[in-house]
Chain A
Amino acid sequence: MSTPYAKLPGWADYGLIPVINLFVAFVVAGFVVMLVGENPLRAAAILVEGAFGRGQGIAFTLYYATTFIFSGLSVAVAVHCGLFNIGGEGQGYIAGLGIGVVCLAFDSVLPWWLTFPLAIIAAAAMGALWALIPAYLQAKRGSHIVITTIMFNFIAASVMVYMLVDVLKPAGSMAPQTRNFLEGGQLPKLNWIIELFGAKIRSAPLNVTFLLALVMAFLVWLLIWRTKLGYEMRTYGHSPKAARYAGISETRIIIIAMLISGALAGMMALNPVMGDQHNVALDFVSGAGFVGIAVALMGRSHPVGIVLAAILFGMLYQGGAELAFEMPAISRDMIVIIQGLVILFAGALEHMFRPHIQALFASISPRTVGIEAVKGKGA
C-alpha cells in the first residue's frame, strides 16, 4: 500500500530533510574514508576547512558555486515545465564558442564591461540554440528530450574538438585552445569583497559572473512565480491536459522553456571562460552541467534552494581538492565518490527518510502533519 508523502512544516521540508540527507551522505562517505585507512573526522575537518577556512578557500568555493547556480537554474526551469533537460553540459560547452568569438573579436577594442554584455548574449544564444533542436523534436515529433539532449552533449563535444583544433587554435600553438583573451575579455575579480572581511587572498578566480548568477536566480524566481509565461510553464509541467484545456500551446511552451533553460546553461560558460582561464579550452565545462541536475534536485527547483545547493557543491569541489592534497591516500577519485554519495542521498534518494520523519512528527505533534492529497485522490 503506498503511503503518500507527508506534508511537513516548511522548515522541516526545506531545512531538516536536506540536512539529514547530507548528514547520512557524510557518514557513509566517512566509512569509505575509513576503508582507505584515514581518519574520517580529520578528513571532514580538512574538507570544511579547505572550503571555508580561509578567504582563499571561500573564494574558490563561490567560484565553483557560480557555475553550478547557472546549471541548476537551467535544470529547474525545464523541470517546472515538466521537461528533463540533461543537456546542460553540451549547451554550456557550445556556448563557450559564442563567448570565444565575442572575446576574440572585441577584446582589443572594447573594455570588459562592454564585452561582457555581448558575451552574455552570445552565451545565452548559443546555449538556447543547442537546446532548440531537442525542444523542437520533442514538441513536434515526440522524440524524448532526455535522449536527444544527451545525444547533443556528444555532438557538442565533437563540434568543440573540431572548432578548437582546426579553426580557433592559433597557428603554431600546440594546445587545442584559443589564444588568451586580452584585457577586454577578462572579467574583474570579486576577491576584494571577501578581503573586506579581513581575509587574505593570493589569487582566486571568483569574478563578477557570481553576481550575474545571483541576478539570474532572482529573474528565474520572477519568471516562474510572477509572470504569465511562468504560469503557463507550471501549468504544463503539472498537467499537460490542463494546459491543453487552458489554451496553452504545447509546442510553444516546450520550446520557450527549453530556450530559457538552454540560455541559462549557456551562461555558465562565462564563469570559467571569461572569469578564470581567459581562453576557450577543451573540456572546460568538466561535468558542471550534470552537477546542475543534482543541484536542482537538492534545491527543490527553487532559486534560493539552488543557490544554497550550489554553494554546497562548490564546497565539495574546493574542499575535496584540498583533501586530495592533504591526504595522499584519498585520491581525486575518492572525492568523486564522496560527491556521488551526496548526489545519491540528497538528490536521488531525497524521499528515503521522509516517511520516517513524517511518522516521527506525527507522533510528536500530529497537528502539524497533514497528508498532501495524492494526485487524483480527494472528492
Chain B
Amino acid sequence: MAQAAIELIGINKSFGAVRANRDINLEIARGTIHGIVGENGAGKSTLMSILYGFYQADSGEIHVGGQPASIKTPNDAIALGIGMVHQHFMLVDNFSVLENVILGAESDALLKKSIAKARSELERLEREYGLEVDPDAIIEELPVGLQQRVEILKALYRGAEILILDEPTGVLTPAEADHLFRILKQLKEQGKTVVLITHKLREIMAITDTVSVMRQGTMVATRETKKTTVGELAELMVGRRVLLRVEKGEAEAGGIKLAVKNLTVKDSRGVTVVDDVSFDLRAGEIVGIAGVAGNGQSELLEAISGIRHAVSGSVMLDGKPIDLTGAADPGELRERGLAHVPEDRHHVGLVLAFEENENSILGYHDDERYLKGPFLNIDAIRDDAKDKITKYDIRPADCRLRTANFSGGNQQKIVLAREMEQDPGVLIVGQPTRGVDVGAIEFIHKRLIAMRDQGKAVLVVSVELDEIRSLSDRILVMFAGRIVGERGPEATEGELGLLMAGVEHQEAAE
C-alpha cells in the first residue's frame, strides 16, 4: 500500500439542520486515482470543499502527506499542494490562457518578467502531461474541453501534487472526456494524486484505482475498483437495487402534437445553427435527439419553446402555429400545454438566488392558483412547493432554502417537478439528467416514461447516448445543425456514434 497523500479523520459538517458530512474517514493513497461517488446531496462536494478550504469542518482532522494540516482558505490548500478544478470554471473570459494561469500567482511586480517565466514553465507542463493549449488563445474562444485544461494547468502551475476534479465530464463531449482521462492517467504516472467525483459509474470503472461511496453524509464503503461492479456501486450509493435501464412497454403513438417543418435558426453572428430541420412528435411517444454537444440541439429546443428567433420554417403545436419571430410569449405557450425543461438550469431554468418555493412557480407565476389579485399567494406557493418536494423527494425538504444551496441533482428535480406537475401535453427536456445521480436518473426516467404512457408527447435532447437509447421510442441524430438520421431504440451505440460524428448515414447503415 502506497503512503497516504491525504487522510481525512472524523470530518463533520452541518449546514443548519442538514448534516452534509458525518464522521467521514477517508484515506487517499499517493499516486492513485481515487473516485468518489454518491447520490445528489450525499456530501461529496462539501467534503472536497473542506479539503480545499472553501468550508471549515465543524470537527475532524486533515492530514496531508502524513502531517496534520490546518486548511482555512484555498490559499492554505494550494500551499499544501492541493489543487481543485471547479465544475464551472473560474477563468477570466477575455484574458489569454497564459494570463489566466498566472493570475494571482504573479511572482514579480513587473508583469513582463513573470509572463516570460510563466510561458516557459507552462510549455514544460503542457509537454509533460499532454495538456496542449495555445498559451495566447483567449479563453472565451476556447471550447469547454480546453478551458478545463487551462484549469488543470492553473493548478499544476501552482505546484499541485493532489488534484481534485468535481464532476469534470458533465460538460464535455465524449471525445473531450477521453482526452481528459488520458491526461489524468499521465498525471498519475508522474506520481500525482487525483480525486475524481463523478456520477458516471462507467468512468469510475474505466479510470480509478479505488472508489469510495458516500450516502447521506456518511462514507459507506471504499472498494478497489477492480473488485467491484457498476451494479454494486449503484446499490451502495442508493441503499437499494437500482435499475440502470428503466423498463418500458411499447409506445402507443397517437396524433401529432408538435410538427416542426423546415426550421432554420441562425446565431447572433449569422451562422446557421439549425438547418432545415423537420420532424413530428406524437402523443404517447418519446423522441430522443442525439448528438455531440454544440450541434444545434440547444438552439432547436430554444426555438421550439419560443425563446429564440428562427429565420424560417414553422412549428405547429396541436395544429396551431407557434410564433417563431422570437417575440413569442413563453407564458402563452405554457398555457397551450408546452412545458420546457431547459438545458442550463443555473441561468435559465432557475434563479439560484431565490428560495426554492419561488423557483417552483417560475414561468407559472401568472397562474391564479399562486396569486391573490396582484399579490403572491405565499401560503399557496409554499404548500405547492412542499407537495412537489415530497412527490419528487427533493432534499433537503426545505422550501425556504436558497436554491443555490441545493445539490445539482436536487436542483434538476426542482425544475422537473415544476414542469411535469403542470400536466403539459408536450414536454421538451434538455439534458434531463446532467449531473444527476443513478437513483435520481432512474426516478426521472420513470417519470418521463409515465408521462409518455399517459399519452403525453415528450422530446428529449441529451448528449448521453445511454440515456437516449433507454428512453426513446424514436431517435433522431443531429449533426452540424441537420437531422442526419432516424433510428429505432434498437440502434447500436456504434451506429449512432457514427451518425453523430457526421459519417454519411448510408455508410453508417452498412
Q: Does B42 have its Cβ within 8 Å of any Cβ on chain A?
A: no
- A378 and B374 contact, Cβ closer than 8 Å, known pairs A371-B55, A372-B404: no
Within 8 A of A (CB), among B78-116: 78, 86-88, 90, 104
Question: Complex: how many Å from CA A2 to CA B53?
Answer: 12
B74 to chain A: which residues have CB within 8 Å? Answer: 1, 3
Q: How far is the CB of B264 from chain A (nearest CB, A)?
A: 21
Would B374 and A373 count as touching, CB distance under 8 A?
Answer: no
Within 8 A of B (CB), among A334-379: 359, 362-363, 366-367, 369-379
Residue of A nearest to B167 (CB): A379
Q: Does A226 have its Cβ within 8 Å of any Cβ on chain B?
A: yes
Q: Does B493 have its Cβ within 8 Å of any Cβ on chain A?
A: no
Question: Complex: how many Å from CA A239 to CA B342?
Answer: 14
Would B351 and A238 count as touching, CB distance under 8 A?
Answer: yes
Q: Does A232 have its Cβ within 8 Å of any Cβ on chain B?
A: yes
Interface size class of B (residues with CB under 8 A): 35 or more
Question: Complex: how many Å from CA A318 to CA B363?
Answer: 48
Q: From A1, A226, A242, give the contact of B362 (CB < 8 A).
A: A242
Question: Complex: how many Å from CA A228 to CA B380?
Answer: 14
A227 to chain B: which residues have CB within 8 Å? Answer: 374-376
A373 to chain B: which residues have CB within 8 Å? Answer: 352, 402, 404-405
Question: Complex: how many Å from CA A336 to CA B331?
Answer: 50
Would B366 and A375 count as touching, CB distance under 8 A?
Answer: no
Q: Does B378 have its Cβ within 8 Å of any Cβ on chain A?
A: yes
A234 to chain B: which residues have CB within 8 Å? Answer: 351, 354
Question: Complex: how many Å from CA A259 to CA B321?
Answer: 35
Would B15 and A366 count as touching, CB distance under 8 A?
Answer: no
Question: Complex: how many Å from CA A373 to CA B346?
Answer: 11
Q: How far is the CB of B86 from chain A (nearest CB, A)?
A: 6
Q: Does A246 have its Cβ within 8 Å of any Cβ on chain B?
A: yes
1/0 contact trace for A245-289 toward B, CB 8 Å?
111010000000000000000000000000000000000000000
Q: Please indicate which of the listed interface residues B74, B86, B351, B411 has the most CB atoms of chain A within 10 Å of its own CB.
A: B351
Q: Does A235 have its Cβ within 8 Å of any Cβ on chain B?
A: yes
Q: Does B470 have its Cβ within 8 Å of any Cβ on chain A?
A: no
Q: Does A231 have its Cβ within 8 Å of any Cβ on chain B?
A: yes
Would B330 and A244 count as touching, CB distance under 8 A?
Answer: yes
Q: How far is the CB of A300 from chain B (nearest CB, A)?
A: 13
Would A245 and B307 count as touching, CB distance under 8 A?
Answer: yes
Q: Does B72 have its Cβ within 8 Å of any Cβ on chain A?
A: yes
Residue of B nearest to A243 (CB): B351
Question: Complex: how many Å from CA A246 to CA B418?
Answer: 12
Q: Does A229 have its Cβ within 8 Å of any Cβ on chain B?
A: yes
B347 to chain A: which residues have CB within 8 Å? Answer: 239, 241-242, 376
Q: Does B190 have its Cβ within 8 Å of any Cβ on chain A?
A: no
Would B351 and A239 count as touching, CB distance under 8 A?
Answer: yes
- A1 and B332 contact, Cβ closer than 8 Å, known pairs A231-B365, A366-B57: no
Question: Complex: how many Å from CA A372 to CA B346?
Answer: 14
Q: Please indicate which of the listed interface residues A1, A229, A366, A373 has the most CB atoms of chain B within 10 Å of its own CB.
A: A1
Within 8 A of A (CB), among B292-330: 307, 329-330
Would A226 and B334 count as touching, CB distance under 8 A?
Answer: no
Would A246 and B15 count as touching, CB distance under 8 A?
Answer: no
- A366 and B376 contact, Cβ closer than 8 Å, known pairs A245-B330, A373-B352, A379-B408: no
Residue of A nearest to B170 (CB): A379
Residue of B nearest to A365 (CB): B58
Q: How far is the CB of B265 from chain A (nearest CB, A)?
A: 16
A226 to chain B: which residues have CB within 8 Å? Answer: 375-376, 378
Would B329 and A242 count as touching, CB distance under 8 A?
Answer: no
A370 to chain B: which residues have CB within 8 Å? Answer: 15, 55, 405
Would A228 and B375 count as touching, CB distance under 8 A?
Answer: yes
- A369 and B56 contact, Cβ closer than 8 Å, known pairs A227-B374, A362-B72, A375-B352: yes
Question: Complex: how many Å from CA A363 to CA B76?
Answer: 14
Q: How far is the CB of A5 from chain B (nearest CB, A)?
A: 12
Question: Complex: how many Å from CA A319 to CA B170?
Answer: 59
B170 to chain A: which residues have CB within 8 Å? Answer: 379
A241 to chain B: which residues have CB within 8 Å? Answer: 344, 347-348
Residue of B nearest to A359 (CB): B72
Question: Complex: how many Å from CA A95 to CA B383?
Answer: 44
Question: Complex: how many Å from CA A231 to CA B378?
Answer: 12
Q: How far is the CB of A142 from chain B (nearest CB, A)?
A: 13
Interface size class of A (residues with CB under 8 A): 35 or more
Q: Does B481 have its Cβ within 8 Å of any Cβ on chain A?
A: no
Within 8 A of A (CB), among B19-74: 45, 49, 54-58, 72-74
B72 to chain A: which residues have CB within 8 Å? Answer: 359, 362-363
Question: Complex: how many Å from CA A249 to CA B331?
Answer: 10
Q: Does B432 have its Cβ within 8 Å of any Cβ on chain A?
A: no
Q: From B167, B346, B349, B371, give the contact of A376 (CB < 8 A).
A: B346
Q: How far is the CB of B244 from chain A (nearest CB, A)?
A: 21
Would B375 and A371 count as touching, CB distance under 8 A?
Answer: no
- A367 and B58 contact, Cβ closer than 8 Å, known pairs A245-B330, A247-B330: yes
Q: How far is the CB of A269 from chain B (nearest CB, A)?
A: 27
Q: Does B435 have its Cβ within 8 Å of any Cβ on chain A?
A: yes
Question: Complex: how many Å from CA A191 to CA B319?
Answer: 70
Question: Complex: how many Å from CA A370 to CA B16?
Answer: 9
Question: Complex: how many Å from CA A226 to CA B379?
Answer: 11
Q: How far is the CB of B11 from chain A (nearest CB, A)?
A: 11
Question: Complex: how many Å from CA A229 to CA B347?
Answer: 20
Q: How far is the CB of B314 from chain A (nearest CB, A)?
A: 21
Within 8 A of A (CB), among B396-420: 402, 404-409, 411
- A242 and B87 contact, Cβ closer than 8 Å, known pairs A228-B371, A366-B56, A378-B407: no
Within 8 A of A (CB), among B342-390: 342, 344, 346-354, 358, 362-363, 365-366, 371, 374-376, 378
B54 to chain A: which residues have CB within 8 Å? Answer: 3-4, 371
Would A246 and B87 count as touching, CB distance under 8 A?
Answer: no
Would A238 and B75 count as touching, CB distance under 8 A?
Answer: no
B58 to chain A: which residues have CB within 8 Å? Answer: 366-367
Within 8 A of B (CB), among A182-226: 222, 226
Question: Complex: how many Å from CA A247 to CA B342?
Answer: 13
- A228 and B56 contact, Cβ closer than 8 Å, known pairs A3-B73, A238-B354, A372-B404: no
A222 to chain B: which residues have CB within 8 Å? Answer: 375
Residue of A nearest to B370 (CB): A228
Residue of B nearest to A369 (CB): B56
Q: Does B14 have its Cβ within 8 Å of any Cβ on chain A?
A: yes
Would A362 and B56 count as touching, CB distance under 8 A?
Answer: yes
Question: Complex: how many Å from CA A227 to CA B56?
Answer: 38
A362 to chain B: which residues have CB within 8 Å? Answer: 56, 72
1/0 contact trace for B231-273 toward A, CB 8 Å?
0000000000000000000000000000000000000000000
Q: Does B395 have its Cβ within 8 Å of any Cβ on chain A?
A: no
Question: Complex: how many Å from CA A371 to CA B55?
Answer: 7
Residue of B nearest to A247 (CB): B331
Q: From A235, A239, A244, A377, give the contact of B307 (CB < 8 A).
A: A244
9 additional A-B residue pairs with CB within 8 Å, beyond A367-B58, A378-B408? A222-B375, A227-B374, A245-B330, A247-B330, A362-B56, A363-B72, A366-B56, A379-B167, A379-B435
Which residues of chain B have a CB within 8 Å of any CB of chain A?
Answer: 14-15, 45, 49, 54-58, 72-75, 78, 86-88, 90, 104, 166-167, 170, 307, 329-334, 340, 342, 344, 346-354, 358, 362-363, 365-366, 371, 374-376, 378, 402, 404-409, 411, 435
User: Could you give 27 example pairs across A and B, Cβ below 8 Å?
Assistant: A1-B75, A3-B54, A222-B375, A227-B374, A229-B374, A234-B354, A235-B362, A238-B352, A239-B347, A242-B350, A242-B351, A244-B330, A244-B348, A246-B331, A246-B362, A246-B363, A249-B329, A369-B55, A373-B352, A374-B88, A376-B346, A377-B87, A378-B45, A378-B352, A378-B407, A379-B407, A379-B408
- The 3 tightest CB contacts between A and B, nearest first, are A247-B331, A379-B408, A366-B56
